[in-house]
């Protein structure tokens, strides 16, 4: 049987395009990469800074911390939002009730965001994460400094203890 011109042309085109049926994944990978970076940058879940240099005390508290200013007291340094402000040795050795370097940093952070009427009543929120072995007098100085810098809504970060189980 003789093939028509159209059938011959179709056969040629099928032979020519037979190797081009693969899927090009480059554009798809670009889209997924952009999506992953977007989700990482715009993650709004509250996360308390994890630092292996401190060991938090254990508590039965159920409340999750809100996202606010974090003061971290390790055995060596006092950090505000992850930035070292003063060493704990210097802060513990002063006889003043407040720590000047910490107060200066907190006042700077307070000046960057204006207070609403509701915040004026309650005070600015701050979460203090302190190693369980730091002296109480140092913790008291840090809390007093936070209060003097208008951060009156103080929360202490602890590890949650499971009810009915013994904890350290």
The pTM score is: 0.57
Mean pLDDT of the chain: 79
At 47-94, the pLDDT tens digits run 555 566 666 667 666 666 556 788 888 888 888 888 888 888 877 777
Decide: 83 and 74 in contact? Cβ < 8 Å: no
Distance CA 63, CA 20 (A): 58
- Identify the bridge partners of residue 80 per DSSP, sorted by sequence position: 71, 83
- What backbone torsions phi and psi does residue 166 show, to the nearest 5 degrees? -75, 145
Decide: 100 and 128 in contact? Cβ < 8 Å: no
Between residues 51 and 153, the one the model is more confident about: 153
The helix (run of H) or strand (run of E) holding residue 125 is strand 125-130
Residue 129 — very low, low, confident or very high, per pLDDT cuts 50/70/90?
confident
* 101 to 39, 57, 66, 83, 88: CA distances (angstroms): 36, 26, 25, 12, 11
Alpha-carbon torsion 72, 78, 82, 85, what sign? positive
Whose structure tokens read 């989700």?
Answer: 39
Tell me the pairing of strands 77-80 and 69-73.
Answer: antiparallel
Decide: 84 and 77 in contact? Cβ < 8 Å: yes
């Amino acid at each position: 049987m003789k093939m028509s011109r159209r059938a011959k042309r179709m056969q040629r085109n099928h032979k020519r395009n037979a190797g081009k049926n693969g899927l090009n994944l480059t554009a798809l990978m670009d889209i997924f990469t952009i999506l992953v970076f977007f989700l990482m940058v715009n993650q709004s879940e509250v996360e308390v800074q994890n630092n292996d240099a401190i060991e938090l005390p254990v508590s039965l508290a159920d409340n999750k911390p809100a996202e606010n200013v974090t003061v971290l007291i390790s055995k060596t340094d006092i950090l505000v939002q992850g930035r070292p402000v003063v060493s704990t040795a210097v802060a513990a050795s002063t006889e003043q009730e407040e720590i000047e370097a910490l107060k200066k940093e907190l006042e700077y952070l307070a000046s960057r965001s204006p207070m609403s009427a509701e915040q004026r009543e309650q005070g600015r929120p701050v979460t203090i994460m302190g190693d369980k072995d730091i002296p109480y007098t140092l913790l008291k100085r840090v809390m007093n400094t936070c209060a003097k810098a208008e951060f009156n809504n103080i929360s202490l970060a602890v590890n949650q203890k499971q009810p009915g189980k013994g904890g350290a």
